[in-house]
Chain A
């Protein structure tokens, strides 16, 4: 089954810029748009980024997404304590499945 890989954890201090990577394959990230979700403790996931780099209305501008080849990144500029959460990338795979990344736990020090 298709695997999309993220680092299990990332951390930073308030105000810092933090980047989370997401590595897939030609059948998912390489050929389909990437999505990013934020899951706060005890809450349902929330859409942060769609179409690789688009923010839905209401999502803070400090979140930004990018994609290159079979990899993608989520950047959080001006890290805040409320950004402490799990982050997942995801993409449609050409084998007709929706694949989530392994997830990254962000800690604000």
Chain B
């Protein structure tokens, strides 16, 4: 059974030069399997789920337009993991961040079927 294990800091200073970096390690499967794709979602305190970005095969990346200029997402096949970088963080980026797998079903390729445990990231105001 494939599992996702997240890692990264719980506190990031607010600054245009500060970058929030999170990693999601894949176990029980390969991050490079062509039928699976990977994404990041966050949940700010008291708010709903917000999709951040996803990476599909051949490095095709889709971003939430509200975050696009600050977000990068990548896959490291040598470490069997994928990562999120969010630049120029502010207090508005405080949230629980989740990594997840797109199931890649032929008729529903975008659904997230497996989720990481979540990482609470705080950016003080």
User: Which residues from chain A sit less than 8 Å from chain B, CB to CB?
Assistant: 1, 32-33, 35, 37, 39, 44-47, 50-51, 54, 56, 86, 88, 90, 92, 96-103
Nearest-Cβ distance from residue B65 to partner chain A, whole angstroms = 6
Report B-chain residues with C-beta under 8 Å of the C-beta of A90: 49, 51, 111
User: Which residues from chain B sit less than 8 Å from chain A, CB to CB?
Assistant: 39, 41, 43, 48-51, 54, 62-66, 98, 103, 105, 107-108, 110-113, 115-118
Report A-chain residues with C-beta under 8 Å of the C-beta of B49: 37, 39, 45, 88, 90, 100, 103
B117 touches A44 (CB 8 A): yes
- The majority secondary structure among interface residues of chain A is strand
Interchain CA distance A13-B41 in the complex, whole Å: 32
Contacts between the two chains (Cβ within 8 Å), count: 68
A50 touches B39 (CB 8 A): no
Report A-chain residues with C-beta under 8 Å of the C-beta of B64: 97
Interchain CA distance A46-B115 in the complex, whole Å: 7
Q: 9 closest pairs, A vs B, by CB?
A: A103-B48, A44-B115, A92-B110, A98-B51, A51-B108, A33-B108, A100-B49, A50-B111, A35-B111
B112 touches A35 (CB 8 A): yes
